[in-house]
Structure 1
Amino acid sequence: MARLLNTYGLLSFDCYGTLVDWEGGIIQGLKALIDRLDKLDPIKDDKIAILRRYVYHEGRIQKAFPTLKYASILTKVYEELASDWGLGETILDGESAAFGASIGSWPVFPDTLAALRELQKHFKLVILSNVDRESFNKTLAGPLDGFKFDAVYIAEEIGSYKPDLNNFQYLVHGCEKNLQVPKEKILHTAYALNHDLVPAHNLGLSTCWIERKPNAIGGELSLVQDQLSLDFQFRSMEDMADAVHAAFNKGVSAGVQ
């Protein structure tokens, strides 16, 4: 029998990609570099190709430097992309660092804040994010409008980046110790399949996929179906909030659709 949404006590969220428009923020932050590409360069207008190359470098650098602040990771990624595109010598002083510092200005999705406010009526809400504290605080004060989460667990303080299982173990330990919520009451919610939902599932957490389609780098479900069994799946945070409202008011749950 499928488990109901109203049987959980805590929702843990990936932030960038699920609540914040990570892909849109990256593309906007790379605009100065993209604008320098030759107009005939096929990658210039290929958002998916740009983002996939970004993810390649980000993952490689995070693995090599697991304790490096996320803003510094982005600075390095910017420089790698410039090199890939033959633009390394065109980077201005401070340009790559400005990209790293842009995290706090990336916008939330239009449905994020209203959905969080509805979900907060029924669950404790926790962030598990591949970010540094300074950058997250800027996001929290700006795009997230000072929203009050019950806990925020970030890569800078954990000492590794997702999909490392250590991050999810840290989440579970923190929720159990600080919020008195056991593992079986946690529902990890994210748009990134490989970075979030597969490792969460491997650790025995319940999982909820926020599709956020069309997205370029959240992952394709067909490629990880043998590694993951989703408990819930929604097109957006708004749809999840609507399902939660129904579950608590009518005793029903949409589950995986």
Structure 2
Amino acid sequence: MRHLLIHAAIIAVAVACVYPLLRILSVSLRPGDKLFSMDLSIIPAGATFSSYARLLKDTMFLHWLWNSLLITLATSFIGVSLASTAAYAFSRFRFPGKKAGMILLLSSQMIPAGMLILPLFLMIMKLKLMNTYLGMIIAYSVSSLPFSIWILKGYYDTIPRSLEEAALVDGTSQVGAFWRIILPLSTPALSIAFLFNFTTAWNEYLVARVVLFSAKQYTWTLGLFELQGQFITQWGMFAAGSMLVTIPVLCVFLYSSKWLISGLTLGSVKG
């Protein structure tokens, strides 16, 4: 009976997650004269890819998608690189303020994202990086660091110190031990941190709206809102874009899924 309830709950959650996507897919395939139809079928009568064709031909969607991909990949690699070394320091070394630093990192996750908009805006403006990719990358990398450090530090704590000590005895430096032993063993946690950085930057809207003001610099989250006007919204194209932007995230998730469960589980054992 218990297993039956668990499976029923899993199915209910799966349906709740998938059904909205199927509705968006249905809207994206509807002909222009049936966008507001009450038909609940997933594949509507007279299904067409005209919304996709118009989106790719008549807008800068591919350019917006490229901007998002460039910013997101740079944010993910920079964020994981910084977090991996910072987490190693918290895990393996003793220094003044270590405990306070970890508490500060954890506490920073409790701050609402909206409260960070003003300080991020002022920082980027003083650096003269408004309306630039670099400004977006810095903002995203900074905001994603605390969680990445926390999950990586927890995972490093599960790796026996004896492995590093053996490497040090053999003449390897501390940096060499980190590079050759810790990082390869931490692939699950690194993939989790990368996936978190990727999805956070890919779907972000608020910071992008504040920092970017040129259509050529827009990410896809800003670009799709260009389809929304005062009197009319291109819902077919909006739905088509919403479906297309899921493809990169889905590819990254599928590639890293084999490490997903082990990374989250082991990373929470200690820390």
Question: TM-score scaled to structure 1, two decimals?
Answer: 0.30
Relative contact order (C-alpha < 8 Å, sep 6+): which is higher?
A: 2
Answer 1 or 2: which has greater helix percent.
2
Q: Which of the two has greater strand per residue?
A: 1
